[in-house]
Amino acid sequence: MAAPRTSPKETYLFDGAELTITLSGRDTGGQIAVIHARMPPTAGSAPHMHSREDETAYVLSGTLQIETGGEIIKVGAGESRFLPRNVPHRLSNVTDRETFMLLIATPAGFDDLCIESAKLLLANGITDGVPNAAVAPGLFEIAAKYGISVVEETAL
């Protein structure tokens, strides 16, 4: 029997993208989190690495650019890429159109990082979800709490 959804469906802004937690760790006993992301042009993450979860990106429409392992990979609608933990990567939209995708984290935890980071941005008056240097120390602290490290560009 499917477990009922226990958390409210909420939308947050982080890394310039609109993130809707469609299935949270609270809903799945921490096993998986599914996040629907709307990435406008120029939105994207800093180079980073997850130590606790694997991430899968499934593109619904548009094109996602993934930088990892010395490669730049373009992922189009209907395609997905698996990003294992402990491998540096960056996700971005370098096109002039919106990209929609599902981010799947196994196990969950990344969903909580997104929520906490978005709340920090809002608390600092950042309404577009794009971090600035003033909030960087707080974001690094949140990332470390969830086992995510920001890495140098050269690590990609």
Closest to 120 measured CA to CA, from 10, 15, 1: 15
What pTM was computed for the model? 0.91
Q: Where do the domains of the chain lie?
A: 11-146
pLDDT of 9 higher than 80: no
Cβ neighbourhood burial of 76 (10 Å; 0-12, 13-18, 19+): exposed
DSSP 155: G
What pLDDT does 5 receive?
A: 61
Element (H, E) at 84: none
What pLDDT does 156 receive?
A: 87
Average pLDDT over residues 118-123: 93
Q: Is the domain covering 11-146 a CATH 3.40.50.2300 domain?
A: no
Give the model confidence (pLDDT) of 63-106 as tens digits: 999 999 999 999 999 999 999 999 999 999 999 999 999 999 99
- Answer whether 63's CB lies under 8 Å from 100's CB: no
